[in-house]
Chains A and B, each alone.
Chain A
Amino acid sequence: METKTKTGIGNPISRLEGKLKVMGKAKYSSEFSFENLAFAQGIQSTIASGRITAIDTSEAEKQEGVLKIITYQNALELKGYNGRFESPSTKGISPSLQTPEIHFYGEYIGVVVAETFEQARYAANLIKVTYAEDQHKTNFEEHLDSVYKPDKANGNPADTSWGDLEAGLNQAAAKIDVTYNTPIEHHHPMELHNIIAVWEGDKVTAYASTQMVENAVTTIAETFQMPKENVRVITPYVGGGFGSKLQLREHATLGIMAAKMVDRPVQLTVTRHEMFTAIGFRQHNRQRMRLGADQDGNLTAVGHDTTSHTSFTEEFQETCGLMTRMLYKTPNSLVTHRLMKLNLPSPRWMRAPGEAPGSFALESAMDELAHELRMDPAELRIQNDTQVDPSNDKPFSSRQLVECIRIGAKKFDWKNKWNPKPGHTQKDNWMVGYGMSASSRAAPYLKSSAEVTLKRDGDAVTAVLKTDATDIGTGTYTILGQTVAETLNLDIKDVQVELGDSKFPVSPGSGGSWGAASFANGTREACLNAINNLKTLASTDEDLTVAELMKQAKLNELTATGTAAPTEEFDDYSVYSFGANFCEVWVDKDTGMVRLEHFVNVASAGKILNPKTAYGQIIGGITWGVGQALTEHSEVEPNHGNFITRSFADYHVPVNLDLGKIDVVFVPEEDYIANPMGVKGIGELGITSIAAAIGNAVFNATGRRVRDLPITPQKVITTPVTA
């Protein structure tokens, strides 16, 4: 066998599609063109609760180019809609325009279809809607007495407990009882949500920006009550998703309905302004943390109570207490989740749903406890490490949290830098502080299929890999190309990867940090099957190259499929990625402006398929964490119940200057229980506990504990010094 390929897994090769993207040649869903394409513009409600009493479309209808105005009065009846909205699953029906009822400000109430985008948008502005307005419920504080216990919190039990929390707190030498608030945040992938719907008879093709092709097919089929075979979804490139594109939501239903009603291909793009209410968001979470520890820092009690809000149309709660259940050993634990219904859009999954806000509470509380104990916060984490998941008594398939902390501490020079006394270091007008946090995120692995076709020309073999998996900017093309190159021992330039088409074998789609692990294993399985088939056809057991095998079998072409799926063994373990964060912040002592100077992230996340794309995931996650910590929040207007800042001028995502220096370290890890390739997800690990590390550093700099995110100048200067 010839020497091993240099473009297989583990190599930091650049993205295969990078050049296409830079040249504008990577085709996103809105860039497919059709003769006769019409454009749709959605109309959103401007009250938070009530019903539509009249819609005057007369002025809009007169305008040049307007083809159709669709409202609940003339919308297609969606037979799958049974008077209520499905609780959110990534599949399931996505109704729109079926009733005059308004459940939140910014709900889609109509759509204008016209010859051009500009005409549609102009006409939409001319439509006059009259409402009967009800008193809206949008104020979180005012409705705290209406909370209830949901059946599930994002598929997990709402409540779990073991031992006796109160007893554990009573016996503690040090304890804290504090409440944190994390605000409403929005995903805002760079590529706007979009659909182009093309009907041909009773078949529809949707060019849609989506993270999950198969789910999109199911949603369309169920919403329009048609066989799945009649639905095709195409999405070769997706410009970010972050959970907002797990489902095809109302806008997609509007686009497909509009195309049907005007009998032409229709494009509907959700504007940036609409995206604030149309695609889900992260809910406001209030989290009460009660921690107790004995003198040596052993946790005696861990309590985590989360209160959030959902909408009147769906029930969704991110599981803020998920990480609290499994990260540290404790004899007494109580984790609860409660919900209230508000006239706000439905919160949905957003990057690390649960862990992102939950880790802020847990890892800030651990820092507060360490401060009470006068203990190094890094040591407190190490002290409470466990190799058995306390929530289910299963062993971890691998857990290198302590290694992550030690490596990070060394890289950061934590022992020399960190000083327990807040306000220890001042440089000019800046107060310098250091903070750290531990993190963890489940490493799920799901069934995933792929198909590989080998073509031989003389001694040269090329491979084409197909799966309906998506590349949402994460590097799927590249890592799957590397997986093929590795398994078939080809050079990656001879490998072509095709993604994002429902004609291809089914994958679980990109989401929940399972994409890389699942797709790569499915791809490997298809390649291994190809080799086995070739060996059979060539009647050999020898480890020949694919070119030699094909020659021997007298084949010029061969196609093989493969499916990877977790075995039963997988369920006997808790499978997670782990990480540690260390950072240095500078806080202006007068104005409270926070500057992130240095961030060190250490991740133990299985086999790293490509250090370059993995690094991209982590710095993206850290950037999100910086936004969560310092800049991002949506304010609910007190009188009208809308998100009042619906533009990027007001909703502040961090800029380069906010980031400082970032170092990322991957800890080598071999975990073949997780899956045959030992791959774990990192996309969501990357954001987990970032905000806590920053908040802890702000406390270390100033002695001010800001428990409500984001940590804006206003909050820093109005939070009292407590240490």
Chain B
Amino acid sequence: MRPFQFHCPSSAAEALQKHSRDQKTHYLGGGTNLIDLMKEDVERPDHLIEVADLPFKEITQTANGGLMLGATLNNNKTANHRLVRKNFPLLTMAMLSAATEQIRNMATNGGNLLQRTRCPYYFETSMPCNKREPGSGCGALNGANSKSAIFGWSESCVATHPSDMCVALAALNAKVHVEQADGSSRVIPFTEFHRLPGDQPEKDTNLETGELITGIELPKSEFPDHYYYYKVRERSSYAFALVSAAVGLQMQGNTIIKAGLALGKVAHKPWKLENVERFLEGKEASLSTFEAAAELAFEDAQPLSKNEYKIELGKKTLVQALVRAAARS
């Protein structure tokens, strides 16, 4: 690990102030991702600003009936919070499928959004990787890409976003609250928070350097009864998804009134399925409808040399998530 300076600010303002607004400074949440990457010499910050203790540890009800999840609250406390369990059980289910109890106890909500890809080339400093070292090439494009993206990738990067929590947040139409150094703040819709790689794969999100995440806002609860997070993985726990699907449905009898859908581990960002949501709205819940929805969802998929299986697997995962969400109540 390279030497670095460690800062423990006592307020958000101080944290924002200390940030050098370039890649030399990183905020530190639970450290479950950043510290690993520093040990592997992938991330090489000169300054770490600890934000895990900043006072964004509450879960509060918003005026319009939603929830605000503090950015520094840990993943377990968030997932198991009474109001989250009651009103956003899809989020609970997705979050508890991630990592392990120990890691979730350390991991913060802000850090979860900003965890980096698990693309193995990104972790191996001797390998080419545009995300780690812009211009060095993309090792996965014509290499070991069985776990890479099937949507929205570019020649410069085919990585996927690994988070489970974020897939549910995309399905739930969350918003991210951030603060800037000058004290101003802004709210970013979840679908615009993460970005596609394009020709700048080093940028995972549309966050500006130095911006601090303070909270995640969930709109009024829409899917407390019909929901499912289906995560397909290579072992029963403690593994990232091969593909996953987050489904929230609002039903009247057997009719779908509203749908919130997103796929995980298929793209550089949680893959929100807006057209499929519209397709489902007003339809009767049935296997054939769900299969048609899955066809639509994967219409534009573009597999790489070793990940074509993800299309078939992804369709089945989405269908099953829909079936289980519709059945649940």
Residues of A within 8 A of B (CB): 46, 118, 121-122, 125, 273, 429, 590-593, 595, 630-631, 635, 637-640, 642, 644-647, 649-650, 652, 654-658, 710, 712-714, 717-718
Contacts and interface: CB of A to CB of B under 8 A. Distances in A.
A718 B3 contact: no
29 contacts: A121-B1, A122-B1, A122-B3, A125-B41, A590-B317, A590-B319, A590-B320, A591-B232, A591-B317, A593-B236, A631-B235, A637-B144, A638-B143, A639-B142, A639-B143, A640-B127, A642-B126, A644-B120, A647-B123, A652-B239, A655-B235, A655-B237, A656-B237, A658-B235, A658-B236, A713-B233, A713-B234, A717-B313, A718-B309
Given A590-B319, A639-B139, A717-B312, A595 B124 contact: no
Given A637-B144, A646-B124, A714-B146, A593 B1 contact: no
Given A590-B317, A652-B239, A638 B123 contact: no
Contacts of B40: 273
B234 A637 contact: no
A637 B143 contact: yes
Contact of B313 (A121, A591, A630): A591
Nearest to B146: A714
Nearest to A710: B234
Q: Which 4 A-B pairs have the closest CB atoms?
A: A46-B126, A657-B236, A590-B316, A591-B232
Contacts of A273: 40
Contacts of A647: 123
A717 B238 CA distance: 22
Contacts of A592: 313
Interface in B210-241: 230, 232-240
A121 B146 CA distance: 32
A684 to B, nearest CB: 24
Main secondary structure of the interface of A (DSSP, over half): loop
Contact of B316 (A591, A637, A649): A591
B207 interface: no
Contacts of A122: 1-3
B54 to A, nearest CB: 28
A46 B121 CA distance: 13
B203 interface: no
Given A630-B235, A644-B121, A657-B235, 5 more contacts: A46-B126, A591-B317, A637-B143, A639-B139, A644-B120
Contacts of B123: 646-647
A635 B126 CA distance: 16
**Which residue among A593, A644, A718 has the maximum number of chain B CB atoms within 10 Å of its CB?**
A644
B283 interface: no
Contacts of A593: 232-233, 236
Contacts of B8: none
A91 B182 CA distance: 67
A118 B242 CA distance: 35
Nearest to B239: A652
Given A645-B120, A646-B124, A713-B313, A655 B319 contact: no
A144 to B, nearest CB: 21
Given A273-B40, A640-B127, A644-B120, A717 B234 contact: no
A102 to B, nearest CB: 13
A590 B245 CA distance: 14
Contacts of B18: none
Nearest to B317: A591
A635 B232 CA distance: 20
B85 interface: no
A141 to B, nearest CB: 14
Contact of A650 (B1, B2, B120, B316): B120
B118 interface: yes
A647 B36 CA distance: 11
Contact of A631 (B124, B234, B312, B316): B234
A712 B306 CA distance: 14
Interface in B236-283: 236-240, 242
A702 to B, nearest CB: 14
A591 B41 CA distance: 36
A655 B236 contact: yes
Nearest to A659: B236
Contacts of B235: 630-631, 652, 654-655, 657-658
A118 B38 CA distance: 12
Given A118-B1, A650-B118, A638 B236 contact: no
Contact of A595 (B127, B144, B234, B236): B236
B108 to A, nearest CB: 19
Nearest to A638: B143
A593 B313 CA distance: 11
Nearest to A646: B124
A449 B31 CA distance: 51
A657 B127 CA distance: 34
Nearest to B3: A122
B21 to A, nearest CB: 26
B203 to A, nearest CB: 23
Given A590-B317, A639-B143, A718-B309, A713 B232 contact: yes
Q: From A642, A650, A654, A714, name the one whose CB has the most chain B CB atoms within 10 angstroms.
A: A714
Contact of A714 (B236, B309, B316): B309
Contact of B234 (A429, A656, A712): A712
A647 B33 CA distance: 13
Nearest to B324: A429
Contacts of A631: 234-235
Interface in B21-45: 40-41
Nearest to B100: A655
A90 to B, nearest CB: 31
A278 B307 CA distance: 30
Contacts of B319: 590
A121 B41 CA distance: 10
Nearest to A429: B320
B312 to A, nearest CB: 6
A712 B309 CA distance: 12
Contacts of A654: 235
Given A125-B41, A591-B320, A635 B234 contact: no
Interface string B302-329: 0000000100110011011000000000
A186 B75 CA distance: 32
Contacts of B238: 655
Interface in B151-185: none
Interface in B91-149: 118, 120-121, 123-124, 126-127, 139, 142-144, 146
Given A122-B2, A713-B234, A649 B313 contact: no
A718 B234 CA distance: 15
Given A429-B320, A631-B234, A714 B1 contact: no
A651 to B, nearest CB: 10
Nearest to B121: A644
Contacts of A595: 236
Contacts of A650: 118, 120
A595 B233 CA distance: 12
Contacts of B41: 125
A649 B240 contact: yes
A384 B237 CA distance: 40
A655 B102 CA distance: 14
Nearest to A64: B3
Contacts of B317: 590-591
Contacts of B3: 122
A713 B317 CA distance: 12
B242 A713 contact: yes
A379 B316 CA distance: 38
A649 B237 CA distance: 11
Contacts of B143: 637-640, 644
Name, among B127, B143, B234, the residue most crowded by chain A CB atoms within 10 Å (CB to CB). Answer: B234
B167 to A, nearest CB: 16
Most buried by A among B2, B127, B233, B235: B235
Contacts of A118: 1
Contacts of B309: 714, 717-718
Contacts of A646: 120, 123-124
